[in-house]
Structure 1
Amino acid sequence: MKQGTAARTRHFDLIVIGAGPAGAAAARTAAVSGLQVALVDKRRFPRPKLCGGGITGRAMGHYRRIFGDALPDIPLVTCDRFSFFGFGQDLGLTTGVAPLYLGMRHALDATLVAQALDAGAADFTGQGGALDTGDNCLTLNGLRLIAPLIIAADGVNSPTARQLFGQAFDRDRIGFALEVEHPETDTTAPVRIDFGAADWGYGWRFPKASGTTVGIGGVMARNADMKSALAAYQQRLNLPGDLPVKGQFLPFGAFRSVPGKGRILLAGDAAGLVDPITGEGIGHALLSGELAARAAITALSRAAPDQALAHYCHALKPTHQGLRHACLLRNIMFRERLRPAFIRSFRSSRTLRTEYFRLMAGETEYGPLMRHMAGRLPGFALKVLRGI
């Protein structure tokens, strides 16, 4: 690390803003490669975070590759039993499939940050700052951090995205989620997913070691009274409705086709990388953080930091394609006239369910899943699927 000529200036190869899964993955990947990395977050860890805390097999595969451990060292419930409901109808129980790992985000994030710091990233957590996008300079309480490249993984409300694009997200497309932590737990209970618990969204009940997480999420523009929907969902589950409720925006597949500008790359929720069907964000966060860091590594090795964003966009193409397919499938699932066909297909087709779980495990993508589903849907849906 070189000391700047001005007092209280430090130079790095890469600054990572935001230390959630995307930021921690980016910082660790870059630090392991030998880059001098500053990891910045306005909060200290552990810190509370609204999230269902479901880690899919796909996400766990990314974790193992990036962080080198079989599982994060946090309390996890491993569940391979799933109870599905669709628009109030029981779609059946599925068992013995690829598991979902269930844990608390405050524990997961703290562990990922510690692993990034252990890899050599410099710790600037607990410090908010002002970003100068022109000079790639971040000022923290009088200390100036300067780097040729910045990865911003600062969440769905990303201040960096607002600075670059004028807004962090499109309010007409953004999702919103509400969540409650119930103290009662039953780690033998199945994961429950209710399609349609919110309009163009779903509800979830996740059993964990410390309690049960219950929530709903859907497209915000279609849900004028999400609190009432959550209350109705808890009532359906015979759970009390008097516990504190947390809320957060959810970028349901409303990703940025170019996730950044100049020498600043956006990753995770800041880039809109959340699956619009499953609501999964952790897996995409880990992968995008890694890909952004590898793009930075490649560009800096060629002394061409201006090329990092192009490298990153290229690496993200498969992820963006999967999210486009998922948005098309959501368009079919939640259209009222197609709802009966979706319910029949999901209830009766074991193959369709198997493909769904293979998707969550990272063994297949949305394209093959949708082609399998196409033969079970009416002509209108086939028009939607045309070109897949």
Structure 2
Amino acid sequence: MPTSNSKLPFDIVVVGAGPAGSAAAITAAKAGFSVALVDKASFPRDKLCGGLFTGRSRQNMTRIFNVDVYNELFLECSKMRFRAGDRIISEVLDAPIMWLTMRRNFDEFLFQTALGMGVNNFTGSAALEVNQNENCLQLKDGSSLSYKVLIGCDGVNSFVAKSLFGSSFDPTKIGFGLEVEVPIEAEKSPEQTVEVDFSAADWGYGWSFPKHKSTTIGLGGINVENPKMKQRLAEFLTRYPNSTDLKVKGQYLPFGDFRKSPGKANILLAGDAAGLVDPVTGEGIALAMHSGELAALAASDAIKSNAPQKALRRYKKALRPTHQSLRQAKLWRLMMFPKPMRSVFQNALANGSSLQNMYLDILAGKAEYKNIKSALISRAPKAVFRMIRSKLGV
């Protein structure tokens, strides 16, 4: 760590040391660039997240970090239960394998892996100012880091996004989540069933995700659709023993409103800072790692071409398939969450249905949203589908 008031030059400065930031940092470092990784927190640190780690996440982690899942960090699970309140829609005993992890430990693992590749550690001091004219990031401890490309991976409340656009998200479209961590008694084993409840929140869902030593229970949805979310959480927790009177954590969550242009010139946004979260499953870890990787590759190519200011152009091109998939997911969301569609969706998700299998394949990274539209559309009343098309203008 440099002394106060020092100024250090780097090829790439990454703000935010979560999965997106560590992925960006290690990708750039492996390409031979000097990298600074900045975060206001010192690691390890806690992070609100259900901690569901899918097959898609595993693919990205293995490719980017050259590591695989292991038992100490991940709880393996192949059982999944879909609910609508007291009604069990479906129980799947042989779902594609998923893993559950504590973000405190997982993020620390990725962070340390990135440092092991020569990434420079600037955690423990928040970003204070982005000087776009001088390509310089000022930290609260007095350090000043110059960059050719800056990558903001600093979450939904992104300081970098605020510096570029004045705000980090649209309050009319942002999601919000609440959760508690329920300890598991030492002599007991976790149930090892991933549970999702589609009635726990409006335009969202509730979850119960087991870990080695605890179970993460929470709910989330579009914020403006859930004015009584704390009350909804209290009602939801009554189903689970020993889950009341625990500390409740809350956080804004991207929920489909991704940035079409994630940055400006030589400043890029990745992960939650770019709104890259699946609006159906809520999965963010896989997209965070992938977008961090793509941002670093775009930055690397732009620097090699002596054109750092064209980094965003390269990044947007690389993100096109991701953006297209998220658009298709938003269409599918309109078939799930509006009140006229809820029973249609839930019935279509029943045991053994093609929709259920495709939903699980999405989580496993075996399918894309473009492959599954017909599975629900074929069951939707024509009048309701016309309503959906009208809303989308298609």
1:121 maps to which of 119, 122, 146: 119
**Residues in 2 aligned to 1:387 and 1:365: alpha-carbon distance in whole angstroms:** 22
2-structure distance, mates of 1:87, 1:379: 27
Deviation at 1:90, TM superposition (A): 1.3
Confirm whether residue 139 of structure 1 aligns to residue 152 of structure 2: no
Partners of 1:58 and 1:296 lie apart in 2 by 24
Residues 62-95 of structure 1: CA deviation (Å, up to 9, x unaligned): 0000000122674211100001013543111012
- What is the aligned partner in structure 2 of residue 100 from structure 1? 98
Which residue matches 1:237? Answer: 240
How many positions carry a matched residue from both structures?
383
Contact 1:52 1:206 in 2 (8 A): yes
Give the TM-score, by structure 1 length. Answer: 0.95
After TM superposition, the structure 1 = structure 2 runs for residues 43-122 of structure 1, keeping only pairs within 5 Å, are 43-71=41-69, 74-86=72-84, 88-122=86-120
Work out the CA distance in 1 between the residues paired with 2:58 and 2:383: 37
> Could you tell me which of 183, 205, 208 is aligned with 2:208?
205
Q: Which amino acid aligns with 2:48?
A: L
The 1:191–1:320 alpha-carbon spacing in structure 2 relative to 1, beyond 3 Å, is same
Residue 148 of structure 1: how far off its partner (Å): 1.1
How far did 1:129 drift?
Answer: 2.8
CA shift at 1:133, angstroms? 2.6
Q: Which runs of 5+ in 1 are unaligned?
A: none
- Among 340, 344, 348, the residue aligned to 2:343: 340
Which residue of the partner structure matches residue 172 of structure 2?
A: 172
Contact kept in structure 1, 2:18 and 2:111, CA below 8 Å: yes
Q: 1:97 to 1:349 in 2, by over 3 A?
A: closer
Q: Tell me the distance in 2 between the aligned counterparts of 1:343 and 1:143.
A: 53
Unaligned runs of 5+ in 2: none
Displacement of 1:349 after TM fit? Answer: 4.7
**1:305 paired residue number:** 308
Q: CA RMSD in A?
A: 1.8
CA drift at 1:238: 4.0
Among all aligned residue pairs of Structure 1 and Structure 2, give the percentage whose two residues are the same amino acid. Answer: 45
Q: Which amino acid aligns with 2:362?
A: L
Query: 1:372 Cα deviation (Å)?
Result: 2.3
Supply the AA of the counterpart residue of 1:147: Y
**Residue 127 of structure 1: how far off its partner (Å):** 1.5
Query: TM-score if structure 2 supplies the norm length?
Result: 0.93
- Cα separation, 1, equivalents of 2:84 and 2:334: 15
What does 1:346-361 align with in structure 2 at a 5 Å threshold?
Answer: 346-361=349-364
What are the Cα deviations for residues 312-371 of structure 1, in whole angstroms up to 9, with x where unaligned? 111111111111111111112111112221121111552211111111111111111112
SS of equivalent residue, structure 1 residue 236: coil
Match of 2:272 in 1: 269
Measured in 2, the distance between the counterparts of 1:289 and 1:351 equals 33
Partners of 1:242 and 1:160 in 2: how far apart?
A: 36
